[in-house]
Amino acid sequence: MSDDHNHNHNHNHNPPHTHDHGYSHGGHAHSHAPANFNRAFAVGIALNTGFVAIEAFYGWQINSLALLADAGHNLSDVAGLVLAWAGSLAVGLKPDARHTYGFKRATILAAFANALLLLLAMGGLTWEAVGRLSAPQAALQAQGGIIMAVAGIGIVVNAVTAWLFMRGGDDLNIRGAFLHMAADALVSAGVVVAGGLTLWLGWVWLDPVVSLIIAAVILWSTWSLFTQSLHLLFDGVPASVDVQQVRALLLGLPGVADVHDLHVWAMGTSHIALTAHLVTQASDTGALLRSAEEELHEHFEIRHVTLQLETPAYAAVCGLRPGLGCQSS
């Protein structure tokens, strides 16, 4: 390899693509959140599956749309937790010759599928609730106590499940699980209130109204997850990274004269990758690379860095330089 063109230096000084157990460099240790949530997923899925059965049974018995709607939503959350768990486990699968990055993107797919599932479920709920508004179920008045008791169980189940995922907020996949469970706890509290008012004041119209409020709350909490995961699926820059700041950091490194072909994307919901061409005449390229790796890791949590070092002479003819036939960032 000539001095003019040092190509594809990988930041991890171990064999390529062994990032699944965290990264430690320059005294900074960071672990990937999904690896620690197997127990949380198992407990959360078990608790919510049991609660879905209870809520659906009593909702069917007393013909409460609020309970049936919340049961349907909680069932979709169970499916969402299963998807999120599968995505989390996929991160640990080893790369192979045909999947050289491994399967980290499964976490993004899980977050997207989770959000899409919820959006579809809430569309169906809204349709049914609007129909019920024109024909409230008068028999619900006597069943307010059952509605309150069942929803009260839901508050406990959802709050406990949300707590299990509270420490994973930096990972979109885990944060999706947390937000859904936290929203469910609030929704269950709303159902308790609706049950009380139905019992004491005879407001049977409140059952479909609460269902519509449930749908609105969940749509609001899910939309961000949906748009972020869709953005990452198309190799969008993660929200935690400002590309202009990254460019400024690289340009500020000693000996760097220019930066081009800079790309930042998410390999998974907790794995960020970067590639760039640095134009430099630095004599100690090892020190430059180490400095770049440490700064990118420290300031942006970018763990997978690939840098191409070029002399000004090589950069002048680099096919990826802006204006030389290949669009560059």
Residue 1 confidence (pLDDT): 42
Residue 31 confidence (pLDDT): 41
Residue 168 confidence (pLDDT): 64
Helix, strand and coil percent figures for the chain, each rounded to 5: 60, 15, 25
Is 270 a domain residue? yes
210 and 307 together in one domain: no
Taking the C-alpha atoms of residue 183 and residue 129, their distance in angstroms, rounded to an integer, is 19
Residue 326 confidence (pLDDT): 40
Structure tokens belonging to residue 197: 């008012």
Is 328 a domain residue? no
Min mean pLDDT across 101-110, 197-206, 244-253 is at 197-206
154 and 56 together in one domain: yes
37 and 24 together in one domain: no
Q: φ and ψ at 219, to 5 degrees?
A: -60, -40
186 and 82 together in one domain: yes
208 and 288 together in one domain: no
82 and 129 together in one domain: yes
**Radius of gyration from C-alpha coordinates of the chain:** 25
Q: Which residue has the higher pLDDT, 203 or 115?
A: 115
176 and 225 together in one domain: yes
Q: Which residue has the higher pLDDT, 15 or 156?
A: 156
Q: Which of 214, 233, 252 is the last residue of a domain?
A: 233
171 and 82 together in one domain: yes
Cβ atoms of residues 214 and 186 within 8 Å: no
User: Model confidence at 195, in pLDDT bands (50, 70, 90)?
Assistant: confident
* Across 54-58, average pLDDT: 86
CATH number of the CATH domain containing 150: 1.20.1510.10
Structure tokens belonging to residue 284: 């100690």
Taking the C-alpha atoms of residue 310 and residue 3, their distance in angstroms, rounded to an integer, is 8
Taking the C-alpha atoms of residue 245 and residue 177, their distance in angstroms, rounded to an integer, is 30
Q: Which of 203, 233, 263 is the last residue of a domain?
A: 233
122 and 212 together in one domain: yes
9 and 87 together in one domain: no
Residue 319 confidence (pLDDT): 67
Residue 142 confidence (pLDDT): 55
User: Model confidence at 325, in pLDDT bands (50, 70, 90)?
Assistant: very low
User: Model confidence at 30, in pLDDT bands (50, 70, 90)?
Assistant: very low
User: Model confidence at 13, in pLDDT bands (50, 70, 90)?
Assistant: very low
Residue 22 confidence (pLDDT): 34
Taking the C-alpha atoms of residue 13 and residue 6, their distance in angstroms, rounded to an integer, is 16
Residue 267 pLDDT > 50, yes or no? yes
CATH number of the CATH domain containing 282: 3.30.70.1350
Cβ atoms of residues 280 and 256 within 8 Å: yes
Is 26 a domain residue? yes
C-alpha of 88 from chain center = 11
**How many domains does the chain fold into?**
2
Min mean pLDDT across 22-36, 97-111, 255-269 is at 22-36
Query: Per residue in 107-141, pLDDT tens?
Result: 888 888 878 877 887 787 788 778 777 766 554 55
The residue segments making up the domain with residue 116 are 33-233
138 and 283 together in one domain: no
* Across 29-54, average pLDDT: 75
Min mean pLDDT across 18-22, 198-202, 307-311 is at 18-22
Query: Per residue in 60-72, pLDDT tens?
Result: 887 777 677 778 7
